[in-house]
Chains A and B, each alone.
Chain A
Amino acid sequence: MYLEKLYTEPQIFNPVKFKPGINFIFGKKEKTAQSKKSLNNIGKSTFLDLLDFTLLSNYNNGSKRLYAAYNKGYLKGKTVVLEFNIDGVKFAIKRSFDNPNKNILFSQNNSKFAPYNLIDMKAKLCDIIFKKDSYSGHYSNQWLRKLIPFFIKIHQYKKESFIDPIRYIKEVNETELNQYHLFLMNLNNTISYENFNQQNALKNIKPAIKGIKSFFEEKYDLSLSEAKQATITSNLNKLQREYEELDKAIKNFKLQKSYTVDEKKADEYTAKIKQLWFANYNDKKRIDAYENSIKFDDTKIQTKKIKQLYKEFNLLLAENIKKTLDETINFKKDLIKSRKEFISKEVKELNKSIEDRKKEITIIENKRKKIFDFLANKNAIKDLSEAHYRLTEKKNELTELKGKVDIFRDLKKKQTEIELEIKKLEMKALEFETEISDFTYELSKIINKTYNAIYPNLPDTTSIFDIGSTSKQSKIAISFLENTTMFGKGKNNVRSLIYDISILFNSMYQNLNSPRFIIHDGIFDSVDKAQFVHLYEYFEKKLIEFKKEGKQFQYILTYNQEGKITEEFGNAYKVSNEKIEDEAILTLTPSKKLLGNF
């Protein structure tokens, strides 16, 4: 992939055409009264941002420069267009700031522009730029924004320094990045890819395990925090015992169904007692009524009165009377006596049934008392509803505990399985190290050449680069000058310069489908300028070398005008300010900024 042209529609700045070799984005001082004006904030990085934007960088709050420029109105209604070619095929991509994630326009071989949404465009672009037909490892077209940042290194803030080229995306760890590195080197990245997936699975499991551990600690005062397996096991056993005891307790509850039966029985007895009491109450009322009735019956025989009654009756019915006066008197006597006898008999019977009921009540009350005593002695329940409540509580506790233990065990099992897989990968990484030793040697040669070209005065160090296995999380380690103290605070600038260029040249030697450009924003800010001259000469040489094979590369960098470079180095005329300005693909000054006065 070669870059050809970048411009905006409608036009903000003159279209920038890219060329083979070094492409300067030049910050030039002005020979006016304002020459002291800073070369910062004139749009060098913003230009690179626009290029990155067309290659589908995330456009949001995080992309501070572009976002700020848009909010100030400089980019409203603007579309950025990048033209590039791959193996002679022309491509163009248009992305607008008003609608950056939908309606991205794409053209191939001068075809009509077709619209894509961001996700589809990323996948398509990734395949076009990176896909290799004969690659033996794992590749995904979701990797565009993981691979492009290797080739485009822009600073988000002023004075932000270069980061480790092996860890070229700040937020991403080596475990993930290794698979991209190996892919870019055309080495089989299967081990790194699988390791990344396993480590991810492990990463997802660990918080869950931690959550359950803290649950145990808080709720059951079981400390699982020690890393010792034995401690965890003994704690789990303790937990298991507690769980079994709880389980047993619940089972006992279940066995003693008689509890509920007893409760029911007690309720029945209570109802019966109430019924008997009520019957007795009624009978007592009746006795009272009878006794009252007798009390007010002071009837005397009044023989005289009966005689008169009998006489009057005789007058009335004369012959028809068969009863004698004595019989009549006796009848009335009998009536009175008979009623009294009846009442006393009734009262006696009522009293007897009251007594019988009282006996029955005593018997039932004793039975009921036994049940209550039994339940109270068990201390399990004061009444049925409380028993059910406690049962439910226990059940819930048990369920929760058992659930957590089960999950914990599943997770631990899963964790062990994953760790086993990772161990296997560690073994594979050892073999891998041997398998790729030839390649590592070849890449080392490229890296050493680049290194020696830029630092010709330093001793020839043969072992500055290696790919090897490690017991660390990434399992494969790419090591390159990470421990050197030679370059001061510009260490990562130098490392990025050498490593990135070497990877670029390697992919050219191997004819890999990948970008043929490197973009370094402010790479020489913290690097001795002498090295810049050496790099320039090295690129001149390589450009000619590759041209013979019909290949070319592009090195795009931002560069600020320097004061004294011409006086100190023999070949410094090659990078004099005038020459750079002459060669630059874009020159910006404090009064001629990229976006006007932004």
Chain B
Amino acid sequence: IPKYENLNNNVLIIGSDIIKLLKKQSYNIENLYQKIKKAKKIDFNTFYDTLTFLWLSEIIEKNQFQIYLKK
């Protein structure tokens, strides 16, 4: 990742963690956050940004509460 302020390493690293988790099963937002929080110190904003980035990349999708990998 080059000048990109917001799309920083942090988002990318957490993004790859989330992908790993979602490969095994889908999570609701809260549980996913608690799961990630156990491994990395993270604020809600970064968490939400990461999910937004993954969604933009067409990697994940969400219904009412659940987040899952796009097939």
Q: Residues of A at under 8 Å CB distance from B? A: 290, 293, 296-299, 302, 305-306, 308-310, 312-313, 315-317, 321-323, 328, 331-332, 334-336, 338-339, 341-343, 346
- Cβ B58 vs Cβ A322 within 8 A: yes
- How many residues in B have their beta carbons less than 8 Å from beta carbons of A? 23
Residue numbers in A under 8 Å from B51 (CB-CB): 335
Asked whether any CB of chain A lies closer than 8 Å to the CB of B39, the reply is: no
Which B residues are CB-close (under 8 A) to A309? 6-7, 49, 52-53
- Looking at the assembled complex, report how far the CB atom of B27 sits from the nearest CB atom of chain A, in whole angstroms: 11
Query: Which residues of A are found within 8 Å of B6, using beta-carbon distances?
Result: 305, 308-309, 312
Asked if residues B56 and A332 are in contact (CB atoms below 8 Å), the reply is no
A309-B53, A312-B4 known; A299+B45 contact, CB < 8 A:
yes
Question: Would A341 and B65 be within 8 Å (CB), given that A306-B52, A309-B52, A313-B53 are in contact?
Answer: yes
Report A76 CB to chain B, min CB distance, Å: 106
> What are 10 A-B contacts with C-beta separation under 8 Å?
A299-B44, A306-B52, A312-B5, A313-B7, A317-B57, A328-B56, A335-B62, A338-B65, A339-B29, A342-B28
Task: Summarize A's interface: helix, strand, loop or mixed.
Answer: helix
On whether the beta carbons of B52 and A316 are closer than 8 Å, the reply is no
B-side contacts of A315, CB under 8 Å:
4
Residue of A nearest to B6 (CB): A309
Closest to A305 in B: B6
How far does the Cβ of A309 sit from chain B's closest Cβ, in whole Å?
A: 4
Q: Is the CB of A316 within 8 A of B4?
A: yes
Q: How far is the CA of A298 from the CA of B45 in the complex (A)?
A: 9
Q: In chain B between 7 and 46, which residues have their CB closer than 8 angstroms to a CB of chain A? A: 7, 28-30, 33-34, 44-45
Contact A308 B5 (CB under 8 A): yes
Contacts of B55 in A (CB 8 A): 323, 328, 331
With the chains together, A302 CA to B45 CA distance in Å?
A: 9
What residues of chain B lie closer than 8 Å to A302, measured between beta carbons? 45
Once bound together, how far apart are the Cα atoms of A308 and B44, in whole Å? 18
- Contact (Cβ within 8 A) B52 A331: yes
Query: Given contacts A335-B62, A342-B28, could you give 20 more A-B pairs where the C-beta distance is less than 8 Å?
Result: A290-B30, A293-B30, A297-B44, A305-B49, A309-B6, A312-B7, A313-B56, A323-B55, A323-B56, A328-B55, A331-B52, A331-B55, A332-B49, A335-B48, A335-B51, A338-B64, A338-B65, A339-B30, A341-B64, A342-B29
Closest chain A residue to B46, Cβ basis? A299
Query: B64 to chain A: which residues have CB within 8 Å?
Result: 338, 341
Contact B58 A338 (CB under 8 A): no
- Find out whether the CB atom of A346 lies under 8 angstroms from the CB atom of B30: yes
Contact B48 A336 (CB under 8 A): yes
- Bound-state CA distance A316–B11 (Å) is 15
A308 to B11, CA, bound (A): 14
Complex Cα distance, B56 from A321, in Å, reads 7
Chain A neighbourhood of B44, CB < 8 A: 296-299
CB distance from B68 to the nearest CB of A (A): 14
